[in-house]
Amino acid sequence: MKRTFTYLFLLAVLLSSCKNEQNKYLLLGKKSGRQWFEPTPFGMAYIKRGAYNIGANDDQLNGVTPNKMVSTEAFWIDDTEITNNEYRQFVYWVRDKRARELLGQTYADFLITEDKYGNPLDEPEINWDERIEWDDIDYQNAMDELYLPEQDRFHFRKEIDTRQLVYEHYWIDFKQAAKRSNSYNFETQRYEGNVVNEKGEVVPIQNRTSFLMRESVPVYPDTLCWIRDFAYTYNEPFTIKYFSHPGFDDYPVVGVTWKQANAFCSWRSGLKAFTPKNEEEAAPHDFRLPTETEWEIAARGGMMNNKYPWGSYYSRNVNGCFVANFKPQRGNYVADSETTTTAMKVGQYDPNPFGVYDMAGNVAEWTSTAFFEAGYEMMNDYNPEIEYNAKPDDPPVMKRKVIRGGSWKDIAYFIQTSTRSFEYQDTAKSYVGFRCVRTSFKDEFARN
C-alpha cells in the first residue's frame, strides 16, 4: 500500500512538472496588467464551439450533398435578419458623411483640421458633432452635388441622388498573403511574388500594403428588384415603399448584393457597440457574413439531422399551423400568414433552440461561401469554408455565393436546413437578405 501511494505521489509530481514546463520560460517576466473581456453583443445568439453534423438529412442522402461531421469555433450570430431600419442607418451614415465632406468646402466647422494639441492633420476628419440643417437653402446649395440634377427630378422635387451614396472600405486578402510564393524573403529583404488587386490586375508586391484591398460599394438597395424579379405583376407599391416607409422598419432588408452585405458588416464593425473603460480592454468585434457551415449550425439549433430548424419533420405544428413564412401551396402565399404575401416582420415565429429566428423562410440569406456543387467534399472539417474573391472579369460561375434558408416565395424543400442554393454576388433580389456573425474569442466557460 505504501508503495502504491509513493507511485501516485511521483505521478502527481511528474504531471505537475509537465504542466508547468510550458510556463517555465515564457511567464517569468511581469504580466501585462491589461484586462480583457468579451461583452455580449446586443441582439445576437451565442453558438458554442463544438462538433456538428452538416449536410443531407437521413432521408435525403443521395450522393449529391453528403452528411459530414465538422468542428467550428464559437461565434455569435444575429438572432434576426438585418432589418430595413438597421440597414437604413448605414445608408444615412454614408449620406451624412458625404454631406459633411461637401459642406466642409464652404463651412469649416464640418471638418476637423487640427488635433487636440493644435497640430495640423495630414487629412481633414469629419466633424460628426456639427448639425446639418437639411432645409437650409444655403446648405442645400453647398451640397448641390449630393442631389439629383434638374433633368433627373420628378415634379421638380429636390431629392438625394442615391448613386452618390458610396461606401469605401478596406480588407486584407489573407489568402494571397498566405501563399508561400508571396512570402517576404529575408535574404533579399523584399517580396518577390505578385498579387491580384481588387481590379483583377496582376501587380508585383511592393510591401505589406499590397495585400490591402480597397472596395467602393454603392450602398442603396435596388428597390426595382420587386418588379424585375417577377414578370407580369404589380409590385410598384413595394418598389416605392418597402425600404423607405416606417411601416416596413422591422421587415428584413432585401435588394442588397453580396458586396453591399459585406460593406454593411464593415461599417457595423466600426461602430462603438459598447463603451469599455479602456479601448484596449475590449475584445475585437469584427462583424462579417456567416460561412455556409456557421449558418447551417445555427439553423439546426444543436439538433442532429433535423429537417427544419424547429426540429420537426413537418412544416406545421400540432395545431396544423405553419411555422415559417414560405410558399405552402401553389399560388397561395397567404396560407402561412394572413398579414403578408412577401417578407414579414422578423421574429414573428418561434425561435429555434439557439434563440435564432427565421432561419427558414422569410428571406434567404447571403453567406460568405463561394458556391461549388462539390463544396462539402472540398471543405476542410475544421472551420470549413470556401472563400473566393471574384474579380470583375471572372466568368459568372466564379461569382456564385451560397444562400441559405429559402424565402417567402419558396416551397418547403428550400427552407430545409440542408438545402443549398446560390445567387450571383452582383445581383440583388427581393427575396434575399442577410444577417451578421462575430467570431467569439472566449469559450462558454470563460464567458460566465
What is the reported pLDDT for 235? 92
Q: Summarize the confidence of residues 418-435 as an average pLDDT.
A: 96
Is the pLDDT assigned to residue 7 strictly greater than 60? no
Listed residue (235, 239, 267) closest to 254, CA to CA: 239
Cell numbers at 411, concatenated: 416551397
Dist. CA 210–CA 196, nearest whole Å: 9
Is the pLDDT assigned to residue 11 strictly greater than 70? no
Dist. CA 351–CA 40, nearest whole Å: 19
Percent helix / strand / coil, the chain, rounded to 5: 30, 20, 50
Dist. CA 382–CA 135, nearest whole Å: 55
Cell numbers at 407, concatenated: 424565402
Q: What is the CA radius of gyration of the chain?
A: 26
Instruction: Kindly report the average pLDDT of the chain as a whole number.
Output: 85
Q: Summarize the confidence of residues 114-121 as an average pLDDT.
A: 88
Q: Name the band, by pLDDT with cuts 50, 70 and 90, for residue 64.
A: low
Cell numbers at 58, concatenated: 437521413
Supply the DSSP string of 266-296, one letter for each residue: HHHHTS-SS--SSGGGBPP---BPPPHHHHH
Is the pLDDT assigned to residue 265 strictly greater than 60? yes
Percent of all residues in the chain with a pLDDT value above 70, rounded to a whole number: 83
What is the reported pLDDT for 165? 97
pTM of the model: 0.88
Which residues share a beta bridge with 266? none
What is the reported pLDDT for 1? 53
Which helix (H) or strand (E) segment holds residue 15: the answer is: helix 2-21
Bridge pairing between strands 212-218 and 202-204 = unpaired
What is the reported pLDDT for 301? 93
What is the reported pLDDT for 273? 44
Q: Name the band, by pLDDT with cuts 50, 70 and 90, for residue 61.
A: low
Residues near 381 by Cβ (< 8 Å), separated by ≥ 6? 68, 69, 70, 71
What is the reported pLDDT for 80? 97
Dist. CA 419–CA 140, nearest whole Å: 50
Q: Name the band, by pLDDT with cuts 50, 70 and 90, for residue 374.
A: confident
Q: In Å, what is the CA distance from 302 to each residue of 67, 81, 247, 309, 334? A: 16, 20, 34, 9, 30
Domains within the chain, CATH numbers bracketed: 48-83+222-448 (3.90.1580.10), 90-157 (no CATH), 166-218 (no CATH)
Dist. CA 118–CA 84, nearest whole Å: 41
Q: Summarize the confidence of residues 116-123 as an average pLDDT.
A: 89
What is the reported pLDDT for 157? 85
Tens of pLDDT, residues 295-328: 999 999 998 888 999 988 888 887 878 889 888 8
Dist. CA 329–CA 418, nearest whole Å: 21
Q: Summarize the confidence of residues 417-440 as an average pLDDT.
A: 95
Supply the DSSP string of 322-349, one letter for each residue: B-SBS--BTTBSSSS-SS-SS---TT-S
Q: In this structure, how many other beta carbons lie within 10 angstroms of the beta carbon of residue 294?
A: 26
Q: Summarize the confidence of residues 4-10 as an average pLDDT.
A: 53
Q: Is 96 left (phi over 0), alpha (psi -120 to 50) or beta?
A: alpha
Which of the residue ranges 79-93, 237-251, 329-343, 424-438 would you say has the lowest mean pLDDT? 329-343
